[in-house]
Amino acid sequence: MVETLTRPLRRSHAQKREETRGKILQAALDIIVEEGMRSVRNRAIAKRAGVSLGSTTYHFSSIEDLIISAFQTWSQRTQIGSNPFYQETSELLAPFGEGSVPPKQRASAAAFIFEIAVDYVLDQLTRGRQDRLLELAFYHESVRYPALRAMLHQEWQAQLNILASIHNAMGSNDPDTDAMLTAAVFRHLESTLTLAGNEQPNKQLIDVTLRRHLAQCFDIAIPG
């Protein structure tokens, strides 16, 4: 009888701990976006999360531990598998398996990939602007923390693997290098236009840049 009564209490305590941990991590992410990584301190986070100061040191052994855990939380929310660009290109190329798109169909495939690439970058810079700020902050902070740097490299490699499969399907003779170039173009557009701070990103710049890049990679003219 006693055992039956104590089990729900134990679950409740565990849930409360998890809720407190979640509040702390969300507070850390909010502070990074609004005030920058330098403001990630136990006292500021506790105040923002509405928890005791001791809660932050209870759940996280150091600021490094907290920042790395915040990155993991953010990364799980923005998993590559749920990225619309990768989802739509995967659906487009799925009928061809591991082979390449037939030459006669590559022009239409290239045009479609270009369109969803533009939409993807625009979405990253509008609805996903806070994520871009977090991405930049974690990128720079990884210089200090090897564990964070390793996680970033793992995430980037997952992106490169998918981009390489796209270039392979489009007939590239060096899909890995083309994947690196495409990732660099995406990252440069996202970072520079995020830092520009404009309410509306420069769609013409995105359009011209991606059209030229993808046309060169696919060796196919993409109509403007």
Domain extent for 16 = 2-74
pLDDT, tens digit, 9 for 90 and up, residues 24-39: 999 999 999 999 999 9
Tell me if 224 is assigned to some domain: no
Tell me if 205 is assigned to some domain: yes
CATH number for 37: 1.10.357.10
**Cα 215 from chain centre:** 25
Same domain, 152 and 53: no
Tell me if 13 is assigned to some domain: yes
Q: What is the pLDDT of residue 14?
A: 79
Q: What is the pLDDT of residue 107?
A: 96
Same domain, 24 and 85: no
Averaged pLDDT, 105-124: 95
Same domain, 146 and 70: no
Domain end: 74, 109, 132, which one? 74
Tell me if 28 is assigned to some domain: yes
pLDDT, tens digit, 9 for 90 and up, residues 68-90: 999 999 998 887 667 888 899 99
Residue 140: pLDDT above 60?
yes
Residues 42 and 47: their CA atoms lie apart, in Å, by 9
Same domain, 82 and 188: yes
Averaged pLDDT, 106-118: 96
Q: Indicate the pTM of the whole model.
A: 0.85
Cβ atoms of residues 160 and 187 within 8 Å: no
Same domain, 104 and 180: yes
Same domain, 146 and 163: yes
Domain end: 54, 74, 94, which one? 74
> How long a stretch of residues is the chain?
224
Residue 2: pLDDT above 60?
no
Number of domains in the chain: 2
pLDDT, tens digit, 9 for 90 and up, residues 45-64: 999 999 999 999 999 999 99
Same domain, 125 and 160: yes
List C-alpha distances in Å: 162 to 63, 156, 199, 208.
Answer: 33, 10, 30, 23
